Amino acid sequence: MTYLKNGVLFAVMMLVALITPLPPALAQDCGQETFQDARYIVCTVEPGKADLRLFWNDVNGEPYRYFSRVAEAVGKEGRALTFAMNAGMYRADFSPIGLYVENGRELRPANTAGGEGSAGLLPNFYKKPNGVFFLDDAGAGILPTDQFLKLRPKVRFATQSGPLLVMQNKLHPAFISGSTDRTRRSGVGVCGGGTVRFAASDDTVNFHEFARLFRDHFKCPNALFLDGGRGVGIYNPAMGRNDRSWHGGFGPIFGVVE
């Protein structure tokens, strides 16, 4: 009888194991990585599994500005914001400088201007080629702005920023090895299998080093610079990160909703 009881108990346990759903695999994972002695927060997102979106304005038409406000809005849907990052450069009113598409609607047109800087310095956005990160039915992609405008793919989300860090496995021609232009930087790359890698440096790095992080470390054939200095920010509750921009807030924001 003891054997029978144990056998029945084992069978019941196996049945419960079969019908009890396993916790879903995380569609986004964040962690700390080091490349060439510089520290980074790196978040890997699988677009086919993750609900990756762009956020800019709330229901009242006001810029979210802070990751916490996006999290509150998502929470009202009964969902959770598990990751967020600044999604490109923006103007003083927190509006995107360039192309911005949200839920299939183009809310800002592409910016093809040359740009002007003070003291002969060209703002990063205008260092051609710049590019567009987008999400469509096939997944994620990054294209130079001129190619994106020629192809005009049907996209659900898109944000324009610049410069491109990596283009078909080649670094932007303006980047200089050993440059003393060092600051915190954030960017996004589309890597093998369509995996998206977001990275924000916790140490100061130059453009050449930051681009090589995507090309040589992550093996991303295409990557786009998002912002630098005081405009770098990341949100990840699991890591205790809820950064705030020293500019008074962010413009467009990437977010993963679960």
Distance (Å, whole) CA 42 – CA 49: 18
Cα angle: 197, vertex 45, 96; to 5 degrees: 70
Instruction: Check residue 3 and give its pLDDT.
Output: 37
Amino acid identity, position 246 = W
Residue with tokens 């019908």: 19
Distance (Å, whole) CA 207 – CA 190: 18
DSSP state string for 39-98:
EEEEEEE-TTTSEEEEE-B-TTS-B--SHHHHHHHHHTTT--EEEEEE-S-B-TTS-BSS
Please determine, for residue 63, whether its predicted confidence score (pLDDT) is greater than 80. Answer: yes
DSSP label at residue 205: B
Averaged pLDDT for residues 41-60: 96
Q: 146: which residues sit within 8 A by CB, 6+ positions away?
A: 112, 129
Percent of all residues in the chain with a pLDDT value above 70, rounded to a whole number: 87
Per-residue model confidence as pLDDT tens digits over 3-28 = 344 444 434 333 333 333 333 334 56
Structure tokens at 47: 């677009």
**Phi, then psi, of 175 in degrees rounded to 5:** -75, 140
Task: Name the average pLDDT for the chain.
Answer: 89
Instruction: Check residue 2 and give its pLDDT.
Output: 38
Mean pLDDT lowest for which of 6-15, 54-63, 206-215? 6-15
Distance (Å, whole) CA 173 – CA 167: 10
Q: 189: which residues sit within 8 A by CB, 6+ positions away?
A: 142, 165, 166, 196, 197, 199, 214, 218, 220, 222, 223, 224
Strand order in the sheet with 234-236: 51-55, 253-257, 81-86, 234-236, 241-242
Kindly state the helix (H) or strand (E) to which residue 107 belongs, with its residue range: strand 105-108
Q: 188: which residues sit within 8 A by CB, 6+ positions away?
A: 85, 133, 142, 196, 197, 198, 199, 223, 224, 226, 254
Instruction: Check residue 138 and give its pLDDT.
Output: 92
Distance (Å, whole) CA 49 – CA 219: 21
Quick check: pTM over 0.85? yes
Per-residue model confidence as pLDDT tens digits over 166-197 = 999 999 999 999 999 999 999 999 999 999 99
Percent of all residues in the chain with a pLDDT value above 90, rounded to a whole number: 82
Averaged pLDDT for residues 238-255: 94
Q: Considering all CA atoms of the chain, what is the largest pairwise distance in Å, rounded to the nearest integer?
A: 90
- Residue 119 or 209, more confident: 209
Domain ranges of the chain: 28-107+123-257
